[in-house]
Amino acid sequence: MFDTIVIATDGSASVRRGVRVAVDLAERFDASVHALYVVDAGDVETAPERLRDEMRDALTERGEEALAEVEAATDRDVTLAVREGRPAAEISNYAREVDADAVAMGTRGRHGENRFLIGSVAERVVRTCPVPVLTVRQLEEGTTDSLLSDEAA
């Protein structure tokens, strides 16, 4: 059913549960895992021109750290990718390129802490991605994560 799963991450605390759920899904279906971080071109473009290269480098480094967290969350081989562009479009394009069966992501990332339902990137991916998208919300502080417990299996 799921042979290839793309895990989209921005490295924020609010998407860590999404990474855990996606890794669990990949392990249950013995699926290959692709972890994707997108350097938001909008963040780079809005920086002063003299700082754009530094901004791009810093965001790329943050992305590599976020991908390392995904890789550390599983014993499976993980294909890592850093892209630059508009996050929702890049996630959808990457899913097409690797012939993914699903994309998994958190609902609120770095810019979405004030969103009411789901983050704007997650919302756009849900609307535009050619494959199913699993969105995983962050739990309230102190809430038990029954999704990943043995009892839920």
Within-domain flag for 98: yes
Q: What are phi and psi of 67, to 5 degrees?
A: -70, -35
Within-domain flag for 91: yes
* 117 Cβ neighbours under 8 A, 6+ residues apart: 107, 123
Q: How many domains does one find in the chain?
A: 1
Sign of CA dihedral 118, 34, 12, 71: positive
* CATH code of residue 22: 3.40.50.620
Residue 32 corresponds to which amino acid? S
Which residues, listed in sequence order, are joined to residue 104 by a DSSP beta bridge? 7, 134
71 with 80: CB under 8 angstroms? yes
pLDDT in tens, 82-115: 999 999 999 999 999 999 999 999 886 544 444 4
Q: Within 13 Å, how many C-alpha atoms sit on residue 148's CB side?
A: 17
Asked if pLDDT for residue 149 goes beyond 50, the answer is: no
Look up the domain containing 112 and give its range: 4-141
pLDDT in tens, 34-65: 999 999 999 999 999 999 999 999 999 999 99
